Each structure stands twice: as structure tokens, then as C-alpha cells.
Amino acid sequence: MPERIGKYTVSTPTHPAVISYAAAVGKKEGEGPLSAEFDYIAEDTTLGEASWERAESLLQKTAVQYALKKGNLSASDIDVIFAGDLLDQCIGSTFGLRDFGIQLVGLFGACSTMALSLINAALAVDSGWAERAVAVTSSHFCSAERQFRQPIDYGGQRPPTSQWTVTGSGACVVGRGEGPHVERLTLGRIVDLGVTDANNMGAAMAPAAADTILRFFEDTKTGPDDYDAVVTGDLGIVGSKLLGELMQKEGADISKVHRDCGVMIFNINAQDVHSGGSGCGCSGSVLCSNLLNRMNKGELNDILFCATGALMSPTSSQQGESIPGIAHLLHLSNRHE
């Protein structure tokens, strides 16, 4: 049963484990440094579908199918799916998960959704009302460009601070069994320092990441040295630098252990992705490949996974609003004390 530690953090004493997981990604992601760790790499941007939106749905479906298969599970073994994505009305999830017939809790956390869905899955299993829960999210470069910026065909210029939306999906099955487990978690709250540049999401999200990580450290009386890695979602190069500065100012030096999924997933310069990867599928596919693989191998034993989201929409930006950030955090661990 979940228990509060301090003011914000929640521990999950029954240690809900990630008993299976999978990542399905696009062609470009499959050409990056994590290539060998993905379960499925698409051959093109469409996956044979008639639209990029449908391609994204298929990617999400594929990630769930692989995660179930790798765990020797079928849809009927899952009590609930926690899912969300970046598309308007979360159609990536709806149409991707429609055929499974599993109870669905739709989430919206922008690019923080992998952490938000995994938190909810862990709480459901730790509380006992779900035996097994799936956490899944996705994003697709072309569907995101069309919706948030301009159709690809327009050929818009990208400033150096901009990030490249990852075509990818990550899915975790949470339950009782072997695997890295969720030890503690801290939900995010909205932090908005007034950034209005939609081509600099990293800067908009970094203060939210700092807020959540600092609250977690305070509640748990731990610090950067207690973890093998502090992994943020998709701050990119620009946002990561800012996070380091914000943390330093508060007396927490994360420079030795900080990694960012948006930086990990691409060869930044060679793949021409400017400040790095972004999108729900960025932290989703990195968690569900490299990070969980390394935990299972014992190369990492305690990590903080802190996915960040920019809660704006094209409409809010057009209306002159700033970009509110949010960051949700999980402590994943191999240790059972």
C-alpha cells in the first residue's frame, strides 16, 4: 500500500516491478546510438499506414504487443492501461489501444507522460486493485510537426534551441515478479517562469524538473550521490545545462550523474537534431530500452527517472500564453532492503 514520505513523495512498499517492457521506434531513432536496444524499428515514417497519426497509433500498439509478448502475457492478463500522447484528444493512444479491450485511464502530461503513466501503474499495483498494469506513451515526428509547428512539406527553418520530436513508443508492464521496481515517486506540479519561445521547450521545462527533483531529495533526505543516474526526459542540451545551473544554485550538484533521454537517443550533431530529442516517445523509448536494460544487467541499480512536459498548445501559444512545465519522477531500484 502506498505511503507518503515527507510532504510530496510516495513510497510503494510492495515494490511493483517492471516485469516486461518494450520500445518501438522510427527509422531515424533506429540509426542512433541506442539502435541495438530497441525491440522494433520502423522502415519508414508511415509503417504502411495512410497517415502519420495512424502510424503513431500502430507504433504504440506495437510497443504494447512486444511488451506483452516478452512477458509471456496476453491482453486479458492486464487489468488497466495508463496511456497518453501529444496528439489532440490523445488519439495516438485511443486508436492504438482500441483493439486490446483493456480498461483505459487516459492521461495527459505532454512529454512527461511516460513517468506519469508508470507512476499510475505502480500505484495501482501497489494498492492492490490491479494485478498487472501497462504504462505506455508515444510520439511521432511528422504528426507532431503537423500539429504543433507546420506540415513537413512547408520546410520551416529550425532554430538551434529547437528539439526533434522522437518517433517512438515505450511500454512497461508493471506487476509482481522479477525486474527493477518502483521504490518511490513524486508527482509534478505546474511551474511556469514565463518562457514563451515554443522553439525552446528545454528552457520551459527545466525549472519544473528542478522543482520535482528538489522536492524528492528533501522528502527522502537523499541527494545526487545516492543514485547511479538522474535521468531527465527531454530537456535536450539547452534545457539540461539550465537544469544543472538551477540545481547547483540550490546546492545539489547533479553534473556527475545527470543524463537526458533527449541527448541519449540521437547522435546530436551527426543526426542534425539541434538541441536533442523530445516528445512523449523520447523518454518512453529510452526508458524501455537502454535504461531498463542496464538496470536488468546490474549496470545501474538506482536511478531517478524524471520525465518533463511542456503543457502548451498551438492555441495557447497563439494567444500569447507562456509555456507551463511539469515533471513527474520515479525512483527505480534493484535493491530490496
Binding residues (CB under 8 A) for a second copy: these are 1-4, 8, 10, 50-51, 53-54, 79-80, 84, 86-91, 94-95, 97-98, 101-110, 116, 120, 123-124, 126-130, 147, 187-190, 192, 311-316, 319, 321, 324, 326
Write down the least CB distance from residue 190 to a second copy, Å.
Answer: 5
Backbone phi, psi, residue 99, to 5° = -80, -10
Write down the least CB distance from residue 64 to a second copy, Å.
Answer: 13
Write down the least CB distance from residue 87 to a second copy, Å.
Answer: 7
- Nearest CB to a second copy, comparing residues 189 and 241: 189
- Nearest CB to a second copy, comparing residues 92 and 179: 92
Write down the least CB distance from residue 27 to a second copy, Å.
Answer: 22
Backbone phi, psi, residue 16, to 5° = -55, 130
**DSSP secondary structure code for residue 43 in this structure:** S
H or E segment and range at residue 217: helix 201-220
Write down the least CB distance from residue 116 to a second copy, Å.
Answer: 7
Write down the least CB distance from residue 65 to a second copy, Å.
Answer: 16
Looking at residue 188, its amino acid is G
- Nearest CB to a second copy, comparing residues 28 and 54: 54
- Nearest CB to a second copy, comparing residues 188 and 202: 188
- Nearest CB to a second copy, comparing residues 107 and 264: 107
Q: CA-CA distances (angstroms) from residue 69 to 65, 171, 253?
A: 6, 12, 40
- Give the torsion through C-alpha atoms of 146, 88, 285, 80, to 10 deg: -160
- Nearest CB to a second copy, comparing residues 222 and 322: 322
Pairing verdict, β 258-260 and 229-232: parallel
Write down the least CB distance from residue 1 to a second copy, Å.
Answer: 5
Instruction: Please give the full DSSP string across 109-158, using - where no structure is assigned.
Output: -GGGHHHHHHHHHHHHHHHTS-SSEEEEEEE-HHHHHHHHS--GGG----
Rounded-to-integer distance, Cα 75 and Cα 171, Å: 13
- Nearest CB to a second copy, comparing residues 16 and 244: 16
Taking the alpha carbons of 321, 136, 79, 1 in that order, is the dihedral positive or negative?
negative
